[in-house]
Amino acid sequence: MTFAPLVAVPLAAGLSAGLVIALRPLLVRYALARPNARSSHSVPTPQGGGIAVIVAAIAATGLLVAGQADDLAVIEVVVLGLAATALAIVGAVDDIRPLPASLRLVLQGLVVAGLVAAVGGRLLPAIPLPLERGLAILAGLWFVNLTNFMDGVDWMTVAEMVPLCAALALLGLAGGLDPLPVLVAASLLGALLGFAPFNRPVARLFLGDVGSLPIGLAVAWLLYRLALDGGLASAILLPLYYLADATITLVRRAARGERVWEAHRSHYYQRATVNGLSVMGVVTRVFVLNLGLAALAGLTLLWPSWPVTLSALALGAGAVAWVLRGFSHPRPKMG
């Protein structure tokens, strides 16, 4: 197994941190996020740190991709890079001058559809290929948006995506995954680590839609590739907290007749801060939960059997439910 992923992590981390330092003065001037009724921050804070994350991840992958796989696989990663860049542009525009929800959704759908078309293989061979591709586009579109929805407090995306990408990189080094997705995961891991010090509560820089949208796309692609390679259970376990919080919240809001496309503060992690838990307390719990989910996902790949898979899924679902329940209840007042 090549050691390119081990090189990708520090390379992307250094590039990301350097770009943040270089770009921050411009972001302070042109991309300042001012607090509003739905914000989790109380002072104006620059956003757009995702530019550094995405550029660093793409650059590290591009520099190390040679010799990792066949030409068709490399073309797929090139399409991923172009798709991530397109979503980053959409996000950058939306960060500076918000776009209509309908236009955002159409543009995201086109980008996701282009990426799905570039991915070969079948996940659901029992259904017609056009239906499978349509379901994949819907799933990808939802994951892109839920990643954006969940990026609502400092370090939340770091707490979710760092364990996920680290798990994929480690499993790849153990020989359990294809080289190219492993390289992409390692590059994204490094880029997020380089960004993390600047987003630590209380954040000096936000990721912004320019980062959350393409990160969601890249991780959706990684999980789709993992599922296609026989790791469907692990592809469910790794993002299970994000999937549960975002999906349950969407269903609850829709049932109440709310405009689900509008910004809000009713996600479980947001309710936790209202209920008295600090931002650091929230993201620490999410990070630890995701370490556990990553371990369970690894078990399903290393020991693939129905008893192990079902047990891992049940334990993962129970752990997520326990955290969500804790987030939804007020903290007891001390003294």
Contact present, 61 and 81 (Cβ < 8 Å): yes
Measured CA to CA, the distance from residue 294 to residue 285 in angstroms comes to 14
Q: Are 310 and 319 contacting, i.e. CB atoms less than 8 angstroms apart?
A: no
Half-sphere exposure of 80 (CA within 13 A, CB side): 30
Interval 140-169: pLDDT, tens: 999 999 999 999 899 999 999 999 999 999
pLDDT of 230 over the 50 cut: yes
176 pLDDT higher than 80: no
Best CA proximity match to 65, nearest among 51, 77, 80, 47: 77
Mean pLDDT of all residues in the chain? 91
Residues 35/215, Cβ–Cβ less than 8 Å: no
Per-residue pLDDT tens digits for 14-45 = 999 999 999 999 998 877 776 654 555 557 78
Query: What's the pLDDT at 68?
Result: 63
Identify the band that residue 178 occupies on the pLDDT scale cut at 50, 70 and 90.
confident
Give whichever of 94-98, 103-107, 170-174 has the largest mean pLDDT: 103-107
pLDDT of residue 66: 73
Give CA–CA dist 204/127, Å, rounded.
48
Q: Which of 11-20, 173-182, 281-290 has the lowest mean pLDDT?
A: 173-182
**For range 166-179, the mean pLDDT:** 85
pLDDT digit string (tens) for 296-309?
Answer: 999 999 898 999 99
Give the pLDDT band of residue 69 (cuts 50, 70, 90): low
Q: How confident is the model at residue 313 (pLDDT cuts 50, 70, 90)?
A: very high
